[in-house]
Homo-oligomer: A and B are copies of this chain.
Amino acid sequence: MQPQNIFDNEFFFQGYKKLRENPNSANILEEKPAIFSLLPELTGKKVLDLGCGYGENCNLFSIMGANKVVGIDVSSKMLAIANDENSGDNIFYENMCMENIFSINEKFDVVVSSLAIHYVQDFNNLVSNVNSLLNDNGIFVFSQEHPLTTAPKNGASWFKNADGRITHYKLTDYAISGKRTVSWIVDGITKYHRTFSGIINSLIDAGFTIEKMLEPVPTKEILERDTSSAKNLHKPNFLVIRARKK
């Protein structure tokens, strides 16, 4: 099966680029600090980045002392930017979807994935492949959309009362894992919802020990600066997990 490659759609790509350039996006304010806080010491390590996109994280891993960084992404448009803006002697980009990582024939100390895993249909297969790619005691750190975000079949949405104030998050379908078709920049984006227990049990079954789980929320400073972010105390945006190969 060919995986979705929406990032090579020009219209989507331009919309996404604009979103990522916003310095006040939840990605930058919430997800990035959380995923970096869970990274082990990278000095001298070999790092694989799944769904590396623009390669910003690959570049940072290299700066943090990684010996070698391999970034894979399904989108050649994303990798063109990665090669242009985030290249380095020890950074290697490869046009590959996450479904095909079984074909990589080297091992890594750390596998990282930022906000890409919710696009992968077969999570069991993915984490089993990640486990195989890790050296003993290797670390897998990943972030994804929060399971409460991916849950609703009609897409994440908030309930507003008569005066337009958000009063609650409209939670539906949480216990029903599987495909979700949602609108984000364009219509027809495919994601996969998984429950907390589904994610945790898959990691354990694949041979991982869970070491830490984060559900980052806006800091006090962000809440004061951007009052609209208070809704994320009702429902966080991201889930971030560190697991160790047993």
Give A contacts to B, CB under 8 Å.
148, 152, 159, 167-176, 195-197, 200-201, 204, 209-215, 217, 232-236, 239
Contact = CB atoms under 8 A, between A and B. Distances in A.
Contacts of A232: 175
A215 B175 contact: yes
Given A171-B235, A174-B148, A200 B213 contact: yes
Nearest to A157: B168
A170 B168 CA distance: 6
A211 B203 CA distance: 10
A64 B103 CA distance: 48
A215 B197 contact: yes
Contacts of A235: 171, 174-175
Nearest to A240: B197
A170 to B, nearest CB: 4
13 contacts: A148-B174, A168-B171, A168-B172, A169-B172, A171-B234, A172-B234, A173-B234, A174-B236, A175-B235, A197-B239, A201-B212, A209-B209, A209-B210
Contacts of A236: 174-175
Contact of A233 (B176, B209, B211): B176
Contacts of A212: 201, 204
Contact of A173 (B197, B200, B211, B233): B233
B176 A172 contact: no
Contact of A204 (B210, B214, B233, B239): B210
